[in-house]
């Protein structure tokens, strides 16, 4: 049975409280909002609790505004080091209360909700997860490494959710031209580390430090990010032209809309064919198509009657051409076991109000939307 909103809020509260206890400097003003279904925060740090309790109307307005913003962009979650809520500067996390998606078992929706929360916490508590002039790729890798390790600590390393999660993140760069959230290598490496060493009882501080090391090792470099993103721009453009924005694309995929599936599969395979000699580009498409079984089921079903998909199946089985080696990103094969050290607390600067033109640090829509 699905958990009620109240019980989920209680679970989010416990998770947030534990993070606050472990990272009192980074999360001094932590405020976690569940949108659009809750008028009161699911967690508020003591430093801001009284001020927010005195302006409930302001909190309600913040929930409404954040809900509209997240719906517009298709974000599953949002983290910002300094956001003003009801006139009070807070370390913000906002979570979408009812995440759409394709789920293999009833339990995986809870897993995904907690993954999103842990991801947003990861932005705040890892050394390079937020601010500091780090690349978007590094911030997202740091947050996803932390979320993956926390998933293993909660549920173990063998859940279907976490085994699929890495490849599912390829949807960000293939469908949405979002290279920052293409964190497949990071999540795969986090699981590999969990195989190599017992991470189940690591304190949260050590978990954040380990996540930072994983991100340093696996973060997509700028050259590869730009190359792969640009290669899949035709898929993104086709989706925007024929389906709509991120939210509309997610809705069509969740609904198993055959027209949308056909468009996306054909466009993705066309890019893979055009770049068959580039392993990075081919692999991103392959990861996307194998992330959810629904994509390959669609291809195999239509291969029985459609020559395009019959040829596509043969093409996908062959893999990228070895005749022209692709430019290699930094190798992450045969990695050394990672040691764990205490992370440095990020410096705390005077909070500044966000410009209306500068969106807060947010969690990517596709990786958490499908």
For 320-344, write each residue's pLDDT tens digit. 874 344 444 443 333 444 444 333 3
Domain termination site, one of 98, 124, 158: 98
Question: What is the pLDDT confidence band of residue 73, given thresholds at 50, 70 and 90?
Answer: confident
Helices 222-231 and 279-291: crossing angle in degrees, nearest 10, is 70
For residue range 199-229, what is the model confidence (pLDDT) as tens digits?
999 999 999 999 999 999 999 999 999 999 9
> Is 9 a member of any domain?
yes
pLDDT value of residue 353:
30
Question: What is the pLDDT confidence band of residue 358, given thresholds at 50, 70 and 90?
Answer: very low
- pTM: predicted TM-score of the whole model, two decimal places: 0.85
pLDDT value of residue 334:
39
Question: What is the pLDDT confidence band of residue 319, given thresholds at 50, 70 and 90?
Answer: confident
Domain termination site, one of 277, 300, 318: 318
> Is 240 a member of any domain?
yes
For residue range 145-159, what is the model confidence (pLDDT) as tens digits?
999 999 999 999 999
- Report whether pLDDT(103) > 80: no
For residue range 241-277, what is the model confidence (pLDDT) as tens digits?
999 999 899 999 999 999 999 999 999 999 999 999 9
Among 104-108, 125-129, 161-165, 321-325, the minimum mean pLDDT is found in: 321-325
- Report whether pLDDT(106) > 80: no
The larger pLDDT score, comparing residue 98 to residue 137, is at: 137
> Is 267 a member of any domain?
yes
Domain termination site, one of 78, 98, 118: 98
> Is 66 a member of any domain?
yes
> Is 169 a member of any domain?
no
- Report whether pLDDT(185) > 70: yes
> Is 351 a member of any domain?
no
Averaged pLDDT, 311-325: 77
* Domain, as residue range, for 281: 226-318
> Is 117 a member of any domain?
no
Nearest to 294 by CA among 122, 129, 145, 171: 171
The larger pLDDT score, comparing residue 333 to residue 108, is at: 108
For residue range 234-251, what is the model confidence (pLDDT) as tens digits?
999 999 999 999 989 999
User: What is the rounded average pLDDT for all residues in the chain?
Assistant: 86
pLDDT value of residue 190:
99
> Is 155 a member of any domain?
no
Number of domains, the chain: 2
- Report whether pLDDT(50) > 70: yes
pLDDT value of residue 340:
41
Strand partners, 29: none
Averaged pLDDT, 160-185: 96
């Amino acid at each position: 049975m699905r958990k009620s909103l109240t019980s989920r809020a209680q679970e989010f509260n416990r998770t947030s409280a534990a993070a606050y206890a472990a990272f009192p400097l980074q999360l001094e003003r932590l405020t976690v909002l569940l949108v659009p279904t809750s008028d009161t925060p699911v967690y508020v740090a003591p430093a801001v609790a009284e001020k927010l309790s005195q302006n409930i109307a302001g909190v309600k307005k913040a929930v409404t505004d954040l809900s509209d913003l997240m719906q517009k962009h298709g974000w599953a979650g949002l983290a910002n080091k300094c956001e003003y809520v009801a006139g009070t500067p807070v370390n913000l996390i906002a979570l979408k209360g009812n995440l759409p998606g394709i789920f293999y078992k009833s339990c995986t929706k809870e897993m995904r909700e907690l993954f999103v929360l842990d991801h947003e916490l990861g932005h705040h508590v890892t050394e390079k997860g937020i601010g500091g002039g780090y690349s978007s790729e590094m911030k997202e890798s740091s947050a996803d490494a932390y979320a993956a390790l926390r998933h293993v600590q909660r549920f173990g390393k063998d859940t279907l959710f976490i085994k699929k999660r890495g490849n599912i993140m390829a949807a960000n760069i293939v469908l949405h031209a979002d290279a920052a959230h293409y964190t497949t290598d990071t999540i795969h490496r986090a699981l590999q580390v969990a195989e190599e060493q017992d991470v189940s009882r690591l304190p949260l501080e050590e978990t954040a430090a380990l996540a930072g090391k994983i991100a340093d090792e696996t973060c997509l470099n700028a050259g590869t990010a730009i190359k792969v993103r640009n290669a899949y721009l035709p898929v993104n453009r086709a989706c925007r032209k024929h389906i709509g924005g991120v939210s509309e694309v997610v809705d069509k995929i969740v609904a198993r809309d055959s027209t949308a599936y056909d468009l996306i599969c054909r466009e993705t395979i066309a890019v893979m064919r055009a770049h068959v000699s580039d392993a990075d580009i081919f692999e991103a498409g392959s990861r996307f198509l194998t992330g959810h079984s629904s994509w390959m089921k669609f291809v195999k079903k239509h291969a029985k009657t459609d020559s395009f998909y019959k040829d596509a199946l043969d093409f996908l089985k062959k893999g990228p051409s070895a005749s022209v080696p692709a430019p290699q990103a930094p190798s992450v094969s045969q990695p050394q076991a990672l040691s764990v050290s205490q992370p440095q607390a990020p410096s705390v600067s005077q909070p500044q109000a966000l410009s209306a033109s500068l969106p807060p640090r947010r969690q990517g829509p596709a990786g958490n939307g499908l």
